[in-house]
Amino acid sequence: MVGLGKMGLSHLAILRAHPAIDLVAGCDSTAYLTDILQKHAGLRCYADLDRMLGAEQLDALVVATPSKLHASMVQRALDDGLHVFCEKPFVLDVADGERLAALAREKARVTQVGYHYRFVGAFREAARVVASGALGTIHHVRAEAFGPVVLRRKGGTWRSTKSEGGGALYDYACHAIDLVNFVVGVPTEVGGVVRASVFSRDVDDEVYATLRFEGGASGQLSVNWSDESFRKMSTRISVWGTNGRITADRQECQLYLRERHDALPGIDKGWTVRYTTDLSEPVWFYLRGEEYSAQIDYFANSVNTGRLDGENSFESALATDRVVAMLLGEAPVHPPAVTSAPPRKSLWSRLAG
Amino acid sequence: MLRNDPSPSTPRSTKPMDRVLFGDNQFFGVNHMSEEKARAQSMRFQDLQAIIDVLDAAYQEGIRTFMCTSHDRVAQICDHFRANPQKYPDYQFFPCMPYAHKYANAVTEHGMIEALRMFLPQDGAVAAMLKGGMALANKDIAAIMQLLIDAEMKMFHGLSTPVVFMQNVITDLLLGLRMDECFRIFHDHVRARYGAEPGYITMNVPRLLDVLDRLGIDNPIVCANFNKIGFRMCGGIEAYEAAVAQRKFRPVAMSILASGAISPREAIEYVCSKPQIESLVFGASSRANIRQTKALIDELSARA
B101 and A155: CB-CB below 8 Å? Answer: no
Q: Tell me, yes or no, whether B8 lies in a domain.
A: no
Smallest CA–CA distance, residue A152 to chain B, in Å, is 10
Which of chain A's residues have a Cβ under 8 Å away from the Cβ of B24? none
**CB atoms < 10 A from the CB of B290, how many?**
24
- pLDDT tens by residue, A242-266: 999 999 999 999 999 999 999 999 9
Report the pLDDT averaged over residues A289-301: 97
In the prediction, which pLDDT does A331 show?
61
Q: Does the ipTM surpass 0.95? A: no
Q: Could you list the residue range(s) of the whole structural domain that residue B178 is in? A: 20-303
| Distance in angstroms (rounded) separating the CA atoms of residues B206 and A22 | 20
Look at residue A161 and tell me whether its pLDDT is greater than 90.
Answer: no
A36 and B177: CB-CB below 8 Å? Answer: no
Q: Tell me, yes or no, whether B13 lies in a domain.
A: no
Which of chain A's residues have a Cβ under 8 Å away from the Cβ of B233? 282
User: What residues pair up with B251 in beta bridges, in sequence order?
Assistant: B222
In the prediction, which pLDDT does B33 show?
76
Q: Tell me, yes or no, whether B2 lies in a domain.
A: no
In the prediction, which pLDDT does B28 show?
86
pLDDT by residue for chain B (304 residues), tens digit each?
445 555 444 444 468 999 999 999 999 888 777 888 888 888 999 999 999 999 999 999 999 999 999 988 999 999 999 999 999 999 999 999 987 777 776 776 677 667 766 666 666 655 655 554 554 555 578 888 888 899 899 999 999 999 999 999 999 999 999 999 999 999 999 999 999 999 999 999 999 999 999 999 999 999 999 999 999 999 999 999 999 999 999 999 999 998 888 999 999 999 999 999 999 999 999 999 999 999 999 999 998 6
What is the CA B214 to chain-centroid distance, rounded?
23
Look at residue A145 and tell me whether its pLDDT is greater than 50.
Answer: yes
Write down all domains in chain A, each with its CATH number in brackets.
Answer: 6-116 (3.40.50.720), 117-278+314-337 (3.30.360.10)
Q: Where are the alpha helices (DSSP H) in A70-189?
A: 70-79, 94-107, 121-132, 174-183
In the prediction, which pLDDT does B263 show?
93
Q: Residue B229 burial (CB < 10 Å; 0-12/13-18/19+)?
A: middle
In the prediction, which pLDDT does A292 show?
97
**CB atoms < 10 A from the CB of B162, how many?**
22
CA atoms within 13 A on the CB side of B248: 6
A13 and B172: CB-CB below 8 Å? Answer: yes
| Distance in angstroms (rounded) separating the CA atoms of residues A253 and A238 | 10
| Distance in angstroms (rounded) separating the CA atoms of residues B97 and B166 | 5
| Distance in angstroms (rounded) separating the CA atoms of residues A190 and A325 | 10
In the prediction, which pLDDT does B133 show?
52
Q: What is the CATH number of the domain that holds B162?
A: 3.20.20.100
**A174-183 helix and A314-330 helix, angle to the nearest 10 degrees:** 120
**Coil/strand/helix, residue B251:** strand
Total of domains in chain B: 1
Q: Tell me, yes or no, whether B104 lies in a domain.
A: yes
In the prediction, which pLDDT does A37 show?
94
Look at residue A352 and tell me whether its pLDDT is greater than 70.
Answer: no
**DSSP category for residue A148:** B
In the prediction, which pLDDT does B130 show?
57
In the prediction, which pLDDT does B120 show?
67
In the prediction, which pLDDT does A345 show?
45
In the prediction, which pLDDT does B15 show?
81
A13 and B35: CB-CB below 8 Å? Answer: no
In the prediction, which pLDDT does A341 show?
41
Which of chain A's residues have a Cβ under 8 Å away from the Cβ of B35? 234, 236, 249-252
